[in-house]
Amino acid sequence: TLIEMADIGNDATTATLDKAKRKTLVSLASSLELHVSSTKGFQSAMVTSGGVHLGEVNRKTMESNKAKGLFFCGEMLDYDGESGGYNLQAAFSTAYLAVQSVH
């Protein structure tokens, strides 16, 4: 849909996009509003693993140890645990820490 909105042909590749088309595509993607219309409910909620290594993040603030002012939370972090809400709680808790630490 974004490709169509940017008036980019289906046969285009990243290498063939000119600067103007790339800017149009980035602008469309960054301003696109998505609205959740439904979920499968809490019983079907799942969390994935992988992401930013915990050693690269200040665990008290969730700020990157490599890039000042960059904060991580939730599934952006490399942690996983038992299903049943534990990962969701970790996501909520890390988000809270990050928000409290942003100046």
Q: What is the largest CA-CA distance in the chain?
A: 48
Domain positions in the chain are 2-31, 42-101
The Cα-based distances of 99 to 26, 60, 74, 87 in angstroms read 26, 11, 12, 18
Helix (H, G, I), strand (E, B) or coil at 57: strand
Q: Report phi then psi at 37, rounded to 5.
A: -100, -25
* Structure-block tokens of residue 61: 């603030």
**pLDDT tens, the chain, 103 aa long:** 889 999 999 899 989 999 999 999 999 999 989 899 999 888 877 766 678 999 999 999 999 999 999 999 988 998 876 666 777 888 899 999 999 999 7
Residue 8's identity, in one-letter code, is I
Instruction: Indicate whether this model's pTM tops 0.95.
Output: no
